[in-house]
C-alpha cells in the first residue's frame, strides 16, 4: 500500500463539516511516527488543517504506570494510558464538531503534565499514532484505522538503535521481553488488529 493510496482514501472520507480522526496503530518500532508525519505533511500540502497527536502523550505518571504489584507487561497494558481523559477531553468534543478545551499532555522529562491549546476547528484531520489503538477503551474514536505490521525481530533491531535511554543492549532487550512484547502478544490475541484495521501496511 503506497502512501498516495492512503491519502486518496483519507480524502475520499473527508467532509468539510466534520473532523476526520485517523488512527495509526502498530507495535513498538513499527514506524508509526514516521508514517504519521508523512501523512501530516502531505495532507497539509493539499490544504487540510492537520493535527498530529501521539497516544503516548496521554499516559499516567511513573508512580501509576510502574506499579510493582503487577507483572511488567500488565503494568504497561493496563496502567499506562489515560484513555478516559483522552476520550472525554479530546475525542468527545471533536466528534461533536466543537473545539477542544486546552488539554494535558505528559512531559516525560519532568514526569508531569503541561497544558496544551491545540487549534482543531471542525473540518480538520486529526491523526493519532500509537500502540493498541483498537482496544475497547478507544471504541468509536477513529473514523479510519491503519495498522503497520512489522516482524518483531526487525522491530527489535530498530529499537536497539533508538531506545538508548533505557540502557545498553541487554537492558533494552530485557525491558522489551518483559514489558512490551508480552503486552503486544496479549493485544494481538484479544483484538486481532490486522483483521480489524481498514488498511494494513
**Spatial separation of the C-alpha atoms in residues 126 and 185, rounded to whole Å:** 28
Residues of the chain where predicted confidence (pLDDT) is lower than 50: none
> How many folded domains does the chain comprise?
1
Beta strands in 27-172 (DSSP E): 50-54, 103-107, 112-116, 125-130, 144-148
- 144-148 and 199-200 strand pairing: parallel
Q: What are phi and psi of 106, to 5 degrees?
A: -80, 130
Longest C-alpha distance within the chain, in Å?
51
The CATH number of whichever domain residue 118 belongs to comes to 3.40.50.300
Q: What is the pLDDT of residue 3?
A: 87
Give the 3-state secondary structure of residue 20. strand
Domain interval for residue 149: 3-200
Relative orientation angle of helices 3-13 and 32-45, to the nearest 10 degrees: 60
Q: What is the pLDDT of residue 185?
A: 97
DSSP character for 62? H
Q: What is the pLDDT of residue 23?
A: 98
Q: Are 125 and 51 in contact (CB under 8 A)?
A: yes
Nearest Cα residue to 50 out of 58, 41, 38, 59: 41
Q: What is the pLDDT of residue 1?
A: 61
Q: What is the pLDDT of residue 2?
A: 81
Relative orientation angle of helices 72-79 and 181-191, to the nearest 10 degrees: 50
Q: Is 107 left (phi over 0), alpha (psi -120 to 50) or beta?
A: beta
Amino acid at each position: 500500500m503506497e502512501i498516495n493510496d492512503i491519502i486518496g482514501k483519507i480524502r475520499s472520507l473527508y467532509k468539510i463539516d466534520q473532523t476526520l480522526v485517523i488512527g495509526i496503530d502498530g507495535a513498538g518500532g513499527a514506524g508509526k511516527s514516521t508514517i504519521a508525519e508523512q501523512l501530516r505533511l502531505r495532507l497539509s500540502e493539499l490544504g487540510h488543517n492537520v493535527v498530529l497527536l501521539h497516544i503516548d502523550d496521554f499516559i499516567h505518571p511513573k508512580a501509576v504506570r510502574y506499579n510493582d504489584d503487577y507483572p511488567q507487561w500488565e503494568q504497561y497494558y493496563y496502567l499506562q494510558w489515560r484513555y478516559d481523559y483522552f476520550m472525554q477531553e479530546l475525542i468527545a468534543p471533536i466528534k461533536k464538531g466543537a473545539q477542544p478545551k486546552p488539554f494535558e499532555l505528559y512531559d516525560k522529562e519532568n514526569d508531569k503534565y503541561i497544558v496544551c491549546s491545540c487549534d482543531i476547528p471542525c473540518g480538520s484531520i486529526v491523526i493519532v499514532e500509537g500502540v493498541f489503538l483498537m482496544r475497547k477503551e478507544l471504541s468509536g474514536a477513529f473514523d479510519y484505522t491503519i495498522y503497520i505490521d512489522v516482524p518483531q525481530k526487525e522491530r527489535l533491531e530498530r529499537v536497539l538503535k533508538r531506545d538508548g535511554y533505557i540502557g545498553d543492549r541487554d537492558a533494552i532487550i530485557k525491558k522489551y521481553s518483559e514489558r512490551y512484547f508480552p503486552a503486544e502478544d496479549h493485544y494481538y490475541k484479544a483484538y486481532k488488529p490486522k483483521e480489524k484495521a481498514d488498511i494494513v501496511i
